[in-house]
Amino acid sequence: METTGERIEGDKRTSNMPRNRSAIVALQKLEADREALDAKQRELEVQAARELGEIILGSGLESFSKKGLRKVAEELGKLGEDAAIEKLTARGSTRASNAAPGTQ
């Protein structure tokens, strides 16, 4: 005779899967998954840094100090891509249009 989640073996009852043990196993699996995700994140961060470095090299930004480049990047990040491009290109064209003829 079986009841929900239990078997009778001889005179003793045993549970199909002890709940405490399954919670421990689940926590161990979760921790292992978290460690794997952390490792994957570190790997992707290294790849992203490499890609960004390749973009910056040759752009003129490599001559900025580390502190200056960080400040520029933070300010551009606050503006967002479209606003930053608009602001940077608008200033350049405004300066050029305000310059005296022949000095451009």
Residues 77 and 38 both lie in one domain: no
Angle separating helix axes 66-79 and 81-98, nearest 10 degrees: 110
pLDDT band at residue 98 using 50, 70 and 90 as cut-offs = low
Q: 36 is in which domain, residue-wise?
A: 1-63
- Quick one: pLDDT at residue 21? 84
**Residue 95: C-alpha distances to residues 21, 77, 81 (Å):** 71, 24, 21
Residues 42 and 77 both lie in one domain: no
Residues 58 and 87 both lie in one domain: no
Residues 16 and 48 both lie in one domain: yes
pTM of the model: 0.56
Reported as a single tens digit per residue, the pLDDT across 72-81 is 999 999 999 9
The pLDDT mean for the chain works out to 82
Residues 86 and 38 both lie in one domain: no
Residues 30 and 81 both lie in one domain: no
Give the count of domains, the chain: 2
Residues 79 and 51 both lie in one domain: no
Residues 76 and 36 both lie in one domain: no
Residues 16 and 44 both lie in one domain: yes
